[in-house]
Structure 1
Amino acid sequence: MNRAERLSAVLDLLAEGGQVEVDQIVERLDVSPATARRDLDALAEQQLLTRTRGGAVAHSVAYDLPIRYKNQQNPEAKAAIARAASGLVPRGAVIGLCGGTTATAIADALMSRADIMEPSPEPSLTVVTNAINIAMQLAMRPQIKTVVTGGVVHARSYELVGSYVDAVLGSITLDLAFIGVNGVDPVVGPTSHDEREAAVNALMASRAAHPVLVADASKIDKRAFAAIGHRRLFPTIITDDAATPEQRQRLTDSGYDVIVA
C-alpha cells in the first residue's frame, strides 16, 4: 500500500467511528506507529481531521445522506463498476459525475487512486458534479478541483436540478461524463424516475466527449418515467458481471459498447 492509498484508508477508518487511534491504524494497516503518526499529521495539515493525543477525531460534517445512500443496493456490483469507470479516467481529465449511489462509488474509486492523490501544485483531476454529497467528499481532497453546478437541491437525491444548472454546464466541456440511471432499455435507452434529474443528466452527457452510462445488471431491461436524452447519446455502458449474455447482446445490438466490470 503506497502513501496515498494509506491516507485514504486512514480516512475510511476515521469515518467508521468518528475517531481513530494510532494503535488501530497500526493493526489495521500493518504499519509502524511512527508511520501512523506521520499520516495523521499529514491529514491534519490538510484539515481533514483534528489530531488528539494518541490519534485523531473527524471534523464535524453538517449533512446527512438521504436514505438511498444509507441502504445502497448491490454495493459489490457498484464498486466493480466504479473501478472500471475510474480506469477510463486519465490523470488531468475533466469529468462529470451525476448524483446517485453508483456515481458516489466512482468518486470513492477516484479518491483511492495514487496517481490522482499524489500531492502536486496543480489539480490532478477536475470533477464537475450536480450532487452536493459528492462535492462534499471531493472538497476534502485538494488534489481534485471540484466544480458544482447551480440549481435547486432535490431532497430525495441531493442533486441540484432546474434551469440554473444550465448556466454552468452550458459553458464547459468535459472529457468524460458518468451518468447513472434507474433503467436502461435497449430500445428506449436510459431513463430516470425524475424528469428534472433526467434533464440535467442529459445536458451533462451532451457536454462530454465521451458520455458513459453506469448501471448494474438490475437496471438493464427496465424503464423509468423520463428519458435521459436521445437513445444514441451514450456510446458506452458499464455494467457488472451479473448481466446475462442475452442482456449484453441486446445492448450491443442496440449500438452500445458494453464494458463488464
Structure 2
Amino acid sequence: MNRHERMNALLELLGERGRVEVEEAAAQLEVSAATMRRDMDALADQQLLTRTRGGAVLSSVAYDLPIRYKRAHRADEKEAVAQAAAKLVERGDVVGLSGGTTTTEIARVLATRPEFAEAGPQPHLTIVTNSLNIANELAVRPQIKIVLTGGVAHSRSFELVGPFSELVLQQISVDIAFIGANGIDPVMGATVHDEAEARVNRLMAERARRAVVVADSSKIGARCFARVGAADVFDTLITDSGAKESVRREFGERGLRVVAARTAADG
C-alpha cells in the first residue's frame, strides 16, 4: 500500500469510527506508529482531520468522507463482492443501488459487462440510485438508464435523502436492490451511521422484488446507530471469504442467505 492509498484508508477508518488512536490505526494499516503520525499530520494540514493527543478525529470540514477518498481500502474484497452481486443481474432489470463504496464498485462492474455495454436502440439496464457519485459515473453510458431519486444531498456520503427521495421510491418497482451497510450483525442486521440514510435504504430495499445487503467482511459484527433491517428486509448477504464460517451459519439460522465471494488472494 503506497502513501496515497494508506492515507485514503486512514480517512475511511476515521469515517467509520469518528476517532482513531495512532497505535490503533498503525496496527490496522500495518505500518509503524511514526509513519502513522506523519500521515495524520499531513492530512491535518489539508484540514481533512484534526489531530488529538495520541490520535485524530474527523475535522469539522469533513466529518465524513466523500466516496473519492474511500476507493483504496479493502479494494480486493469490495471487488469480489461486486462481481458476485453483478452475477445476479439480468439484461432488462431495474437495479436499485444505495450509496457507498461497495455499491459504487457494483455500478462499475455492471457498466463494463459486455451484455450491458453493447450498442442498441434501448437501454439494457435501469439503475435507480440515491447516490450522486454513482449517477455521475454512469450518466455517460447511453445503454444504462439512470434514475436519480432526488432529495437533499448528504454531505457525508454523497447520498440524497429526505422526503423527496422517499416520494420517488414509493412510486417505482425494482427487480433487485443492492444496499450497502456500515455494519451488519446477525441480530441487528444492516446498520448505517445516519437515520435518514437508513430510512431511504430500507425503502429502496422494500420496493425491490429481491433485496441484497452488500458488505465486506470487516463490517461483520459492527453495529452503527441506525438500523436498516435484517431478514425482515433482505434475503441475501454478499460478503467476502474473510467472513467466519460460524458467523455465516448464524446469519443463515436467522433467515439470511450468505454468499462469501472469493477474492484474488484466495486463488
Per the alignment, residue 79 of structure 1 pairs with 79
Shift of 1:168: 0.8
Per the alignment, residue 6 of structure 1 pairs with none
Cα 1:137–1:183, aligned 2, differ >3 Å: closer, same or farther?
same
Correspondence list, 1:15-94, <5 A: 66-72=65-71, 73-94=73-94
User: Does structure 1 retain, via aligned residues, the 8 Å contact 2:110–2:116?
Assistant: yes
**Equivalent residues, number:** 197
Give structure 2 stretches of 5+ with no counterpart.
Answer: 1-63, 262-267
Correspondence list, 1:1-261, <5 A: 66-72=65-71, 73-229=73-229, 231-261=231-261
Q: Distance in 1 between matches of 2:78 and 2:230?
A: 25
Q: Report the AA paired with residue 126 of structure 1.
A: T
Q: Report the AA paired with residue 207 of structure 2.
A: R
Give structure 1 stretches of 5+ with no counterpart.
Answer: 1-64
When the two structures are superposed, what TM-score results if normalisation uses the length of structure 2? 0.72
Q: Distance in 2 between matches of 1:133 and 1:216?
A: 20
User: Does structure 2 retain, via aligned residues, the 8 Å contact 1:99–1:159?
Assistant: yes
Q: Report the AA paired with residue 77 of structure 2.
A: A
Q: Distance in 1 between matches of 2:104 and 2:78?
A: 9
Alpha-carbon displacement from aligned partner over 1:69-118 (angstroms, at most 9, x marks no partner): 32332111000000011000001100100000001000010011000001
Shift of 1:185: 1.2
Shift of 1:188: 1.3
Q: Distance in 2 between matches of 1:182 and 1:258?
A: 17
Q: Distance in 1 between matches of 2:192 and 2:200?
A: 11
Q: Distance in 1 between matches of 2:67 and 2:97?
A: 17
Identity percentage over the alignment?
50
Q: Distance in 2 between matches of 1:256 and 1:166?
A: 26
Q: Secondary structure, in 3 states, of the residue corresponding to 1:238?
A: strand
Shift of 1:230: 5.9
RMSD, aligned CA = 1.4
User: Does structure 1 retain, via aligned residues, the 8 Å contact 2:231–2:255?
Assistant: no
Q: Secondary structure, in 3 states, of the residue corresponding to 1:228?
A: strand
Alpha-carbon displacement from aligned partner over 1:179-235 (angstroms, at most 9, x marks no partner): 000111101111111101000000000000000000110111111000104652111
